[in-house]
Structure 1
Amino acid sequence: MQAQIKTAPYEYFDPIFDGRYETSLDTEYNLPDYCTDIQKILKCRAVPEVSSYIITGDTLTCDGVCDIRVLYLDGKGDTVRCCEFTKDFSASIKLKTSEEKAVACVEASMAHLTCRAVSARRIDLHAAVSLRVLAVVQKKELITCSINNETIEKRGESFAAHQAVNAVCHQFTIEDTLPVKNGKPPIESILHREVSCRIIESRLSEERLTVTGSADVSFLYTSAVDSSTEKFSSSVDFSQVIECAGADEECICDLRISAGESSIQPREDDVGEYTGVSVMAKVFIMAFLYKACEVEIIDDAYSVKAPLELRYSQNAFTQIHGTASEVLKKKCSLAVTDDEIQKVLDIWCEQDMVQAVCEKTKLNYRVKYNICMLYVNSQGRILYIEKQFDHSFSAELENQLTKRADSTWHTDLWEYRIVDKSTVEVSVETTVNSTLMSMNSVKYLTSAGVDENSPAFDIRPRFLIYYASAGEKLWDIAKSHRALLSDVRAQNELFDDTVPESRPIIICNR
């Protein structure tokens, strides 16, 4: 016979895929007629961008395009040229289960890349795209919070937690036209480009999430006047209102944003010069909403009348301890050997990655990025150098219960200077935003029933004296003697959960 139990729902996000998936990207490319011959490849950069993704059954299908730009010296060796082309990629990723309401966020990066000029007109490229995928489904667990039976003693506890409210995925497209700044020459060709997105502000209201942000656009281009190189940077602001069931001002929002497929195309003006660009960028936003709650559980029970059959379950309960925002600054040096730097044509940062680990009272960051530089040496030759940097930072944790930091980041190279004839000092800032949390795994009772195959206890009035040790739990004493916990407390005038000192305990079964 099952005891009557009372349950309360607890909702959580169950990951059905959390990891990386690689897909190969091999191609050959023959230069079109309008491109000059390749004397030397300076830099090949492949930027994978997600176009779309969808979950169908137990499969996540992702499509994307890789923007490939090969910077090289022409036949004379004194001008930087660029051949650009694209290569589509796709991936079908098996998920843990098939769920109708699963949502996901996908970010693409290069796992590895090799590029070589087979001839002056042909390029051979071997690469792999790494997809960082997090797919979740919102689930509900019924937690036993009470048992209604006078003959069953139950031990319960309550603790603060945060339960899932909703997870939403939203995508939109930014389109704008940006003019070249006054005084800058018109565009001949774009050599190198960057598109990144950042969130400026987010606000929750009834059933809605409002996000304002900016898409930052920068590129290096050759001048249509004298084939020199020029830099361009600008930004496109955006604001999005996202329908989000369950949202209100009391919710906590863990927000992520990434730029997907994008294009920057020179735009012709009325006199036939390319004095602007048309910008298109797909933007993906993923939001996890949580709300504070009090969880009550029953973690143990016993009967004073007959043996019980107990069934348990275990779940991880989320607790959010706030957010942390850090700007991690570092000065890095790029040094060239046996050469002299006359002029820096362009310098940029790529392939940034941040690991955030909570350890005791510290939030430790490990930041990796690659700094790339095009420069002119004292002989007037154009050269390229890159170097990877790996830095560690630490910040104090206000709440020592924090065990995990879900982080998003963005790295900016905001200043550089030529220190001496062979060294450039670069100032780099990495902005990291983290949601601080802990996942507490708790075992709790799901059902309690009398074992019908076992005889009832032989119930006779008894009077026992039990010698308890200091610190022994009253629950364990009452359970081992099948006595009501309330009787043990009253008969011995003990009101704490443990015995304060070694002493005899009266146990009187009624």
Structure 2
Amino acid sequence: MELELERTELSGYETVLNTTLFQEETMEMIVPDACPDILRILDTEGWVELKSREASEGHAAVSGTIRACVLYLPDGEEGIRRLDVSIPFSGGVDGARLNHRCSLVSLGRIEGAETRALNPRKVLVRVGIAVELQGYAPLEEAVCSSVHAESKTGVEQLCETCHTYGVVCVQEKPFQFSDEVTLPGSKPQAAELLKQRVTVVCTESKVIGNKLIFKGNVNLQILYRSVDHQICDSLFELPFSQIMEVSGGGEEADCTLEIMATEVQCSLESGEDGRIIHVALELLAQAVLRAERSVAVLCDLYSTSYLLEAERCTHSMEHLIDRSVKTPALREVVECGESIDNILDAYLSVGRMAQNREGERLVLEAEVRATILYRTEGGESGSVSRVFSVPCSLELPEGCSCTCVCRCPEPVFATPTAGGIEVRFAVEFRYMALRSEPITGISAARLDPDSPRDRDHQPSIVLRMVGRGERLWDIAKCYGTTMAEICRANALEEEQAPGGQLLLIPRKRA
């Protein structure tokens, strides 16, 4: 006879992919006729505009465009000039548990970029990109929580309440952002925009009902050439706020929100003023909500009256160990072999990350490239780049897994100093540590009403010493009785007995 089990569906999502796709793209490009010949390349900086993400059976694919600004010194003319480069790319990763129902969360960044002049009218651009990819599949798991059986069957069941921390909602929202910014009066007028650097920072997020309200800033840094060929910069902080529909999270859910730009446009308004800059962004907000849930698990069962066979399965329960942000700061001197008069621009690029276990300590390490544009005391423009290894030490026990994203949300500070350029910057490590605990539960049970338990050869009274760590449940199951009867026979107030105690085990009556 198949016993009727009550099952609880664990709704939500399970993480089936968490990786970073590294890829290098190259392109040869002819300098447009409107641009002067190239004398020397100064710098190449870019950003990634992801256009599509798609999950299929065993595979996740992404595609988009790399946008880069190449700054160079022109041959026979004054000032720094800009060359725009667009490189399409596509790539993918395999994952055995991926399917078309998965939701993908992705974020692209530039690891490093360089340009080599093949001749005064032709360049070779090489860009390394990193695309962070997380895949979440709808969770399809049923947990048996109890059994329905008549009292005459003598079925005893052991149910435990377990807790698990997991993804309950994955949602995204595209939105547009546009604004006008004006160069301050203390800055000279702009003749040409050389570079724009856009960083989207979420400063606040909160779930209210089925709405996720989030706010933040678009940090816009402009590098431009003035009418008298000076190189100037200006920084703007532009606020935004949005509302996204979410479900299943609850107001106590933890929210991870990533916002990426899928299109960036900055243009200088034509006219005599040369101070107004138009900004138009296509943005994509990607939210992952996690929460702790409790679930009842039928861990064991037996019958005091009949033979009973049970099938078991293992459920993995995730537990949150730690979730936080650490921001180590770095202060270094970059040697460049020249006497520096002033800094024109400085920026950071995050590269590869690694994890190293040292006992109870986990050390995260990120490669961060600092690039500085400068002007020498002799009036020459130049650039220098250096890669730093930034460590972040965490006290995390062995046996837990740690995921981390690394960002440099604040501008780098760079100033001339003796021997080179002093740089100071902070690196943000946002990490989450989880530990997986296997829980064995019942998946199916069959009772044979034609096979009653043999009690004829069972003694009427048994004296049994409780072993260290032994449960009363296991003792009752072993002798075909119940915990309640053992408690009554031994005047125990609770269904547990300390190790070393002598128990009277009564025979279960039919």
Q: Same fold (TM over 0.5)?
A: yes
What's the counterpart of residue 120 of structure 1?
120
Offset of residue 363 of structure 1: 7.2
Corresponding letter in the other structure for 1:98: N
- TM-superposed CA distance for 1:467, in Å, is 4.7
Could you say which residue in structure 1 is the equivalent of 2:252?
Answer: 250
Aligned to 2:416: 418
Question: Structure 1 residues 94, 327: CA separation in 2 closer, same or farther (over 3 Å shift)?
Answer: closer
Shift of 1:113: 5.2
Distance 1:358 1:258, change over 3 A: farther
Q: 1: CA distance between counterparts of 2:24 and 2:354? A: 25
The RMSD of aligned alpha carbons is 3.4
- Structure 1's unaligned 5+ residue stretches are none
Task: State the distance in 1 between where 2:436 and 2:447 align.
Answer: 33
Residues of 1 paired with 2:503 and 2:55: CA distance? 64
TM-score (norm 2): 0.86
Quick one: which amino acid aligns to residue 134 of structure 1? Answer: Q
Q: 2:264 aligns with which of 259, 262, 265?
A: 262
Listed one character per residue, the Cα deviations across residues 247-279 of structure 1 (whole Å, up to 9, x for unaligned) are 54333323222333212222213x3x5322221
Paired position in structure 2 for 1:213: 216
8 Å contact kept, 1:219–1:232 = yes
Q: 1:358 to 1:61 in 2, by over 3 A?
A: same
In structure 2, do the counterparts of structure 1 residues 345 and 97 end up closer, same or farther at CA, with 3 Å as the change threshold?
Answer: closer
**Cα distance between partner residues in 1 of 2:43 and 2:79:** 14
1:459 equivalent to 2:461? Answer no
State the distance in 2 between where 1:436 and 1:22 align: 24
Gaps of 5+ in 2: none
What SS class does the counterpart of residue 408 from structure 2 fall into?
strand
| Secondary structure of the corresponding residue to residue 263 of structure 2 | strand
The separation in 1 between residues aligned to 2:167 and 2:48, in whole angstroms, is 32
Matched, 1:175 2:174: no
Q: Which residue of the partner structure matches residue 189 of structure 1?
A: 192
Q: Could you tell me whether the CA contact under 8 Å between 1:114 and 1:125 is conserved in 2? A: yes
What CA distance in whole angstroms lies between the structure 1 residues aligned with 2:61 and 2:173?
16
The equivalent residue for 1:441 is: 438
Residue in 1 that maps onto 2:8:
8
Amino acid at match of 1:342: D
Cα deviation for residue 216 of structure 1 reads: 0.9
CA distance in 1, matches of 2:40, 2:448: 82
Q: Which residue type is aligned with residue 472 of structure 1? A: E
1:144 aligns with 2:144: yes
Distance 1:99 1:448, change over 3 A: farther
Q: Match of 1:250, as an amino acid?
A: E
Cα separation, 2, equivalents of 1:106 and 1:443: 34
Contact 1:368–1:388 (8 Å) recurs in 2: yes
Post-superposition offset of 1:164: 4.4
Match of 1:350 in 2: 349
Please say which of residues 33-42 and 232-241 is displaced more in the overlay: 33-42
Q: 1:406 and 1:442, CA in 2 relative to 1: closer, same or farther beyond 3 A?
A: farther
**1:429 maps to 2:426:** yes
Q: Does 1:490 align with 2:494?
A: no
Give the Cα–Cα distance (whole angstroms) in 1 for the partners of residues 24 and 448 of structure 2: 58
Q: How does 1:51-130 map to 2 (within 5 A)?
A: 51-54=51-54, 60-75=60-75, 79-91=79-91, 96-100=97-101, 102-110=102-110, 115-130=115-130
> Using the alignment, how far apart are the partners of 1:155 and 1:77 within structure 2?
84
Deviation of residue 97 (structure 1)? 4.1
Q: Among residues 156, 159, 183, which one is paired with 2:159 in the alignment? A: 156
User: Shift of the alpha carbon at 1:228?
Assistant: 1.9
**Alpha-carbon deviation of 1:372?**
0.7
What SS class does the counterpart of residue 53 from structure 1 fall into?
strand
How much has 1:83 moved relative to structure 2?
A: 1.6
Residues 164 and 29 of structure 1: is their aligned pair in 2 closer, same or farther, counting only changes over 3 Å?
Answer: closer
CA 1:16/1:291 → structure 2, altered by over 3 Å: closer, same or farther? closer
More deviation, 249-258/56-65: 56-65
Change (3 A) 1:407 1:316: farther
TM-superposed CA distance for 1:122, in Å, is: 0.9
Instruction: Quickly say closer, same or farther: Cα 1:211–1:3, change in 2 above 3 A.
Output: same
Q: Mean Cα displacement is larger for which, 12-21 or 57-66?
A: 57-66
- Partner amino acid, structure 2, of 1:340: S
Distance 1:408 1:94 in 2: 23
The aligned residue for residue 312 of structure 1 is 312
CA displacement at 1:163 relative to structure 2: 5.4
Give 2:346's aligned amino acid.
I
How many residue pairs match? The answer is 502
DSSP-derived class of the 2:411 partner:
strand
Change in Cα spacing, 1:58 to 1:126, as seen in structure 2 (3 Å) is: same
Aligned residues of 1:170 and 1:284 also touching (Cα < 8 A): yes
Deviation at 1:84, TM superposition (A): 1.6
* Cα distance between partner residues in 2 of 1:360 and 1:487: 47
Range with greater deviation from structure 2 (74-83 or 33-42): 74-83
How much has 1:288 moved relative to structure 2?
2.2
- Per the TM alignment, residue 86 of structure 1 is displaced from its structure 2 partner at its CA by 0.9
The letter of the residue matching 1:258 is: M
Q: Tell me if the contact between 2:163 and 2:317 (Cα under 8 Å) persists in the aligned partners.
A: no
Q: For 1:321 and 1:266, locate their aligned partners in 2 and report how far apart those are by CA, in whole Å.
A: 49
Could you tell me whether the CA contact under 8 Å between 1:305 and 1:459 is conserved in 2?
no
Measure how far apart 1:316 and its partner are.
2.8
TM-score for both structures, normalised by structure 1: 0.86
Quick one: structure 1 residues 431 and 21, their matched pair in 2 at CA, closer, same or farther if it must change by over 3 Å? closer
Distance 1:324 1:233 in 2: 29
1:502 shift after superposition: 6.1
8 Å contact kept, 1:313–1:445: yes
Identity of matched residues, %: 18
Q: 1:228 aligns with which of 210, 227, 230?
A: 230
Deviation at 1:387, TM superposition (A): 0.8
